[in-house]
Structure 1
Amino acid sequence: MPEWRKDPVVDRWVIIATERAKRPHDFRCPPDQLNSGDCPLCVGNEDKTPPEVLAFRDADSPANQPGWWIRVVPNKFPAVLPNEGYYAWQDGIYEAMNGIGVHEVIVESTDHEPDLVNQSDRQVEEVLWAWRARLLDLRHDTRLKYIQIFKNKGRTGGASLEHTHSQLIAIPMVPADVAEELAGLHEYRRHRNTCAYCDVVHQELSGRDRVVRESGRFVCLVPFAARYPFEMWILPKEHQADFGQIGEDDIRDLAPVLREALLRLSEAVCRPPYNLVLHTSPINVGGELFYHWHFEIMPRLTITAGYELGTGYFINPTPPELAAEALRDALEGAVPPPHAYTIPEEVPKHV
């Protein structure tokens, strides 16, 4: 029978539509038709992007030239701009301000590949270091209150380029979804004196019905009230509020968990488009140590239609327990090809 399930942090209910239950083979993902010719993110095309703001590269290689293995550049078509100042205005009941912020692209590999699953764990570590570095650098601009790191994979997921990359947008306010989580976490702590996400981790590791993969420091799971078929979260087992404060041991442990989560999704469900988002604590607002950072992986296997848009509630045709089982079993015999670029062994630690 169908079930209503409630997210333990935010006041959001999801319908688990067991009468419509869909297994991995029930989904059909048409191939993405992204333009792969003359890619501006490939090695040798550095002049086709704005000048880099960060690059992990060979010591003797000049900026904005080949020799890199991670490269961060301003988005050529930014949603927001880092103006020197900002101003706001009102027109009766309407309120507005100029579009300040930062919009960057993180080029995750020299390989022209559509995803991280074909990279080495070492390369994924470098991506995590780059995300951390930009979070730490941009928070020095006290106008900014939140930095959203996200990855769109596939045309349906919002990607316009095939080459594996992620983006960040830093903005001068806390987004509504994050504010809702913060409010839910605060209320949960007020009643129970614990972190809701810590309790999620504890309960999922105890029952294990929705656990996909566990490492020493992280757990990948299908959430109890998953909004999307095969949705996954990756959470640190210990309470950590700010992704920008993770250390070397965390990154080494997290990289294979993240890569394998994406690989399991690719192998289980016809290489679907997806969105990956990092939820972390706001910046320059104070008092957010009770937050618990985490990744959310949201496959684009169903269409958000009238009911979802009208209510904010989702209908998920795949029970989370079934999805977790399929994802756990997905890597039998699957081995990713080796990464093409060899990162120099003498690279200094990014700390």
Structure 2
Amino acid sequence: MPEFRRDPVSGRWAIIAPERGKRPTDFLLPEENTKEGRCPLCPGSEDLTPPEVLALGRPEEAPPNSPGWKVRVVPNKYPALIPGEIEKETEGLYERFSGAGVHEVIVETPEHGKSLVRFSPNELALVFEAYRLRLEELARDGRWRYVLIFKNRGARAGASLSHDHSQLVALPLIPELVKIELERSRIYHERNGECLFCKLVKSEQNGPRRICENERFLAFMAYAPRQPLETWIMPKKHRSDFLDHFDENLEALCDIFLKVFGKLEAILPGLPYNFVLHTAPLGSAPLPYYHWHFEIIPCLTRVAGFEWGTGAYIVPLLPEEAAAFLRDISP
């Protein structure tokens, strides 16, 4: 059974997941694994995954767990967390509780080797629709406080399969980074009477880090990035939850996603990256001080001793120069 463990000095949580089957020698494998076998995420390989929890685009007459789908969601075969009851325990300085949660894989396309940048707007819309449906379903469970949706693309970014997919993890706690965002933006709102994210959108919309925008969304380089080309996508109007006005935002969200990834792919084909969706905790009333947003983090420099020791990142590229370069690229 996985478990959460809290560091007594920093307050940082770790997930210990022995079910994932790692041994110390497993970490000596080369970064790029070129072995190719039967892909468990391709149509026709449905028997290689746990039974699906959602499939979009498959003909109604087709049975579950059969080909014909356009987006498919399955439980992770090697989950970091597994569904169960939440049991807390304290041993002196140490605090832990059972690793209860949900870990799922969103298979974004039936086409092996097709990357997000080559998706049509309709194909990408189905991926976001899957996010919506799973967020709504997991919110009804009652055990989970937060759902993190993320994507690892490329071995350097942590992807173990080359077939494009994203993942979600439902947690019984609010992740520390999200908690910091919520707390800092709440304090700013109390002190200044306005939303920090709304202020950020206004500042970046006409600033040197702006990459592109449409009527509903803005994409800009992070002011203090963790990696070169770190990009944030944010709604222009105040929206604290990804599900707020989902249908009316969907077309514009697909548009700006494809523009941003088109620009990134044009300068660095095959770019390894992670993206994460930060949204309000499950069950929250609309928050006047928070915006949901995507953070896109390319994997271009190594995290080493300085970063681990300080929590600060050394980035050898000015965000303003990177943004100016990307603005001039037509994907």
Query: TM-score, normalization: structure 2?
Result: 0.87
**In the alignment, which residue of structure 2 is the partner of 1:120?**
120
Mapped partners of 2:246, 2:214: distance in 1: 16
Structure 1 match to 2:214: 215
Q: Structure 1: which amino acid aligns with 2:205?
A: L
Aligned to 2:82: 81
- Cα distance in structure 2, aligned partners of 1:282 and 1:34: 38
2:240·2:286 contact (CA, 8 Å) conserved in 1? no
**Which residue matches 1:328?**
327
**Separation in 2, partners of 1:165, 1:246:** 25
How far the C-alpha of 1:296 sits from its partner, in A, is 0.3
Deviation at residue 290 of structure 1 after TM alignment? 2.5
Q: Secondary structure at the match of 2:156?
A: coil
Paired residue type of 2:274? N
* Amino acid corresponding to residue 93 of structure 1 in structure 2: L
Cα distance in 2, alignment partners of residues 260 and 116 from structure 1: 11
* 1:269 Cα deviation from its structure 2 partner: 2.4
| Separation of aligned partners in 2, 1:70 and 1:34 | 25
How far is 1:34 from its partner? Answer: 4.6
Counterpart residue number, 1:164 = 164
Deviations 1:228-255 (A, max 9, x none): 1001000000010000233222011101
Which ranges of structure 2 fall in alignment gaps of 5 or more residues? 1-30
Counterpart for residue 24 of structure 1: none
CA 1:36–1:116 in 2, change beyond 3 Å: closer, same or farther?
A: farther
Shift of 1:284: 3.8
1:94 has 2:94 as partner: yes
Q: Identity of paired residues, percent? A: 44
Report deviation, 1:69. 0.3
2:41 is equivalent to residue 41 of structure 1: yes
1:54 aligns with: 54
Aligned to 1:249: 248
**Contact 2:241-2:286 within 8 A present in 1 as well:** no
Conserved? CA contact 2:104–2:169, under 8 Å: yes
Deviations 1:112-135 (A, max 9, x none): 125211111110011011111111
Instruction: For 1:172, give the aligned amino acid.
Output: P
Q: Please give the alpha-carbon distance, in whole angstroms, between the structure 2 residues aligned to 1:274 and 1:137.
A: 28
**Conserved? CA contact 1:133–1:244, under 8 Å:** no
Q: Which has the higher contact order (CA 8 A, sep 6+)?
A: 1
The more displaced of 140-149 and 109-118 is 109-118
Structure 1 counterpart of 2:111: 111
Instruction: Give the Å deviation of 1:267.
Output: 1.4
The aligned residue for residue 198 of structure 2 is: 198
Residue 80 of structure 1: how far off its partner (Å): 0.3
What is the alpha-carbon distance in structure 2 between the residues aligned to residue 287 and residue 309 of structure 1?
35
Number of residue-to-residue matches in the alignment? 301
Look up the match of 2:231: 232
In 2: Cα distance, 1:82 partner to 1:34 partner:
33
The alignment's TM-score, normalised by the length of structure 1, stands at 0.82
Paired amino acid for 2:61: D
